A and B are shown apart, each in its own frame.
Chain A
């Protein structure tokens, strides 16, 4: 499924990976441990396709297909998923919005119909129940409430400024 062969990579001119070879078969769970500075994070960034990480030798195959020339979103569609140490929040983008966009990008790439918001929320609810995620926050309700507030404020601002010239500062929830 995943084959990493003799992978050499450098970051900022320094060689971090020096011939890493690893084969992961379908259904297997592999753990990678190692001291600080061994190259663990570099490996995950290389797999995800982060900029500034230069592969100087070797290859990475996913189901026989080389992924090193693919953009991160193409790698995602190919079936690769990376869970970060510290997930990055994109200001103004609710988790559910992000997940829906990601899922629909996958569906589009595979030629499937994109899901509508109700269809998507139904799917999320099913998955959340399966994984025992019951907190409202996890289901995105908190984010949704924040978004509604933002939209309401924007609507009010639009009414207040009939000419449509709304200063960006007016849009921030206070």
Chain B
């Protein structure tokens, strides 16, 4: 990523299977590459990664659509309450 200098980086569950130290190495790498002309889309299951890579915007994807958009606090809410509310919304 650092070599190719992409404009937009999609990280697809890059945190899965990583221990806490490795997670931090990856997150530090991503943070070092943050710049005003580079964007990131971080796809993740866990809020933990977002403690290290603090996002500007958090989206909830459910049943093929973005059903909710918010700030970093949305990720914390999900961690606490799960996806149940959003899955129900999508089904309704």
User: Which residues of A come within 8 Å of B, CB atoms?
Assistant: 1-2, 8, 15-22, 24-35, 38-41, 43-44, 47-48, 62-63, 76, 78-86, 99, 102-103, 106, 123-124, 127, 130-133
Contact partner, B7, options A22, A79, A82, A123, Cβ 8 Å: A79
Contact between B75 and A33, CB atoms less than 8 A apart: yes
Pairs A–B under 8 Å by Cβ, sample size 16: A17-B65, A18-B65, A20-B61, A26-B36, A27-B36, A29-B54, A30-B42, A31-B58, A32-B43, A34-B86, A38-B62, A81-B10, A83-B9, A85-B13, A124-B3, A131-B29
> Which B7-37 residues have a C-beta within 8 angstroms of A?
7-14, 16-17, 25, 28-29, 32, 34-37
Report Cα–Cα, A167/B4, bound state, in Å: 38
Report Cα–Cα, A86/B6, bound state, in Å: 20
Q: List A contacts of B28 (CB < 8 A).
A: 131-132
Q: List B contacts of A28 (CB < 8 A).
A: 39-40, 56-57
Contact partner, B11, options A83, A131, A132, Cβ 8 Å: A83
Contact between B61 and A39, CB atoms less than 8 A apart: yes
Report Cα–Cα, A82/B56, bound state, in Å: 19
Contact between A41 and B12, CB atoms less than 8 A apart: yes
CB-nearest residue of chain A to B34: A29
Contact between A29 and B62, CB atoms less than 8 A apart: no
Contact between B61 and A31, CB atoms less than 8 A apart: no
Contact partner, B39, options A2, A35, A132, Cβ 8 Å: A2
User: Which residues of B come within 8 Å of A, CB atoms?
Assistant: 1-4, 6-14, 16-17, 25, 28-29, 32, 34-45, 47, 50, 53-66, 75, 78, 83, 86-87
Q: List A contacts of B56 (CB < 8 A).
A: 28-30
Q: Is the interface of A mostly helix, strand, loop or mixed?
A: mixed
Report Cα–Cα, A30/B17, bound state, in Å: 21
CB-nearest residue of chain A to B2: A127
Contact between A2 and B87, CB atoms less than 8 A apart: no
Contact between B78 and A33, CB atoms less than 8 A apart: yes
Contact between A38 and B63, CB atoms less than 8 A apart: yes
Report Cα–Cα, A76/B5, bound state, in Å: 10
Report Cα–Cα, A26/B36, bound state, in Å: 6
Q: List B contacts of A127 (CB < 8 A).
A: 2-3
Q: List A contacts of B43 (CB < 8 A).
A: 31-33, 40-41, 43-44
Q: List A contacts of B87 (CB < 8 A).
A: 35
